[in-house]
Structure 1
Amino acid sequence: MRSRVRAAGHAIHPILIVFPLGLLTTSVAFDVLHLITDRVSFAFTAAHLIAAGLLMGVVTAVTGWLDWWLVVPQGTRARRIGLLHGLANAVVLVLFAISWAMRLSEQDWVPQWPALVAAWLGLLVSGAGGWLGGELVERLGISVEEGAHPDASSSLSGSGLAGR
């Protein structure tokens, strides 16, 4: 089922997911570095990584929602898994938004334990959301070109995939 939200021959959603996932995961790593070293710069950086991850997460969510709405057939397992995938990742964004909001009132953006726990829970839930996304693509064939094969032409060639 070919994605409708595309650029240069590829679905945009799987291209974008690396940004919020990478930014939010890295923010947790910077929180850990802050806990180990007590350097304020790590806490400050973590807060800004969360802000960037949230912004990219919203953009990425819009592209995923459009594909879910326009491409995934009603009444299918893929539709149910896609909904769970989207809801799990919405929870991730909410947890990181809570963590970020808690840091707003702290001096130098240094997080207290509730903010850290919210971010860590967000990271855990992102693993489940990512697994569900993998299930959609790898098991259910969502956003995979019909007729895809190891010798298919470039997506930039403009030719179809027919003819192995």
Structure 2
Amino acid sequence: MSSEPQQHAKQPVSAALAGPYGHPFHPILVTVPIGAWVGSIVFDIASHVVDDPDFLARGSMWLMAVGVIGALLAALVGFLDLLAIPNGTRAFRVTLVHMSLNLLVTASYVGNFLWRRAGGGPVGSVGWGQLVLSAVTLAVLGASGYLGGMLAYRYGVRVADEATQAEGFTPTAGRRTG
């Protein structure tokens, strides 16, 4: 059985803004920055193996910007989810680390974007320093994603309770199970 604080963490602060019970918006919104930033590093690497790398370097830079915008939207909704988690709990502490890492990652991509934009924008292959910064930042994002998974799959933050989940495993009439 779930405790009262755990049940509280499953309920949205605002269903209209954070998503209804059992179906939060934060997990779907994080796919935008993750996809954009993974695409960005793929473009970074590809810029070193093609004859005309300018378009890949520019594409990578703009994918960073798309990722930052997506991350800010995901952060707003994620912050609403944070408000439902009781202070002083392990889930709250993990959430603070998850949020801090994501803010660091977003700031790093803003800095990387500005670095690339300086001097009129990218020309030629992406610089090795910029590529390494992207790789390290993506690794930090992976660690933060691990913590986000822990919040959802281990602690059940914004996940429907077991009684609600059991509905999905009830055999339907006229269907064979097993």
Per the normalisation by structure 2, the TM-score is 0.79
Structure scoring higher RCO (CA < 8 A, sep ≥ 6) equals 2
Identify if the C-alpha distance between structure 1 residues 19 and 7 changes in structure 2 by more than 3 Å, giving closer, same or farther. farther
Aligned to 1:123: 138
Number of the residue aligned with 2:128: 113
- Deviation for aligned residue 1:114: 2.4
Instruction: Give the deviation of 1:3 after TM superposition.
Output: 3.0
Contact 1:17 1:60 in 2 (8 A): yes
The superposition leaves residues 14-33 of structure 1 with CA deviations (integer Å, 9 ceiling, x where unpaired) of 11010111101110111000
Distance (Å, rounded) in 1 between the aligned partners of 2:85 and 2:75: 15
Residue by residue, what CA displacement relative to the aligned partner does 1:123-155 show, whole Å, maximum 9, x if unpaired?
0101000000000000001010123325349xx
Segments of structure 1 that go 5 or more residues without pairing to the other structure are 154-164
Unaligned runs of 5+ in 2: 1-9, 170-178
RMSD between aligned residues: 1.9
* 1:103 pairs with one of 94, 108, 116: 116
Q: CA deviation at 1:93?
A: 0.7
Residue 7 of structure 1, CA deviation: 5.5
**Cα distance in structure 2, aligned partners of 1:40 and 1:106:** 14
Distance (whole Å) between structure 2 residues aligned to residue 8 and residue 144 of structure 1: 8
Which AA in structure 2 matches 1:3?
Answer: P
Q: Which has the larger radius of gyration?
A: 2
Map of 2:155 onto structure 1: 140
**Residues in 1 aligned to 2:105 and 2:93: alpha-carbon distance in whole angstroms:** 18
Structure 1 segments (4+ residues) deviating >6 Å: none
Query: What percent identity do the matched residue pairs reach?
Result: 31
Q: Bigger shift: 10-19 or 126-135? A: 10-19
CA distance in 2, matches of 1:148, 1:17: 25
* Matched residue type, 2:167: D
Tell me the number of residue pairs that the alignment of Structure 1 and Structure 2 aligns: 152
2:58 pairs with 1:41 = no
Per the alignment, residue 100 of structure 2 pairs with 87
Per-residue CA distance 1:20-77 (angstroms, 9 max, x = gap)? 11101110111000012252111111011001000111111111111102x1111100
TM superposition shift of 1:104: 0.6
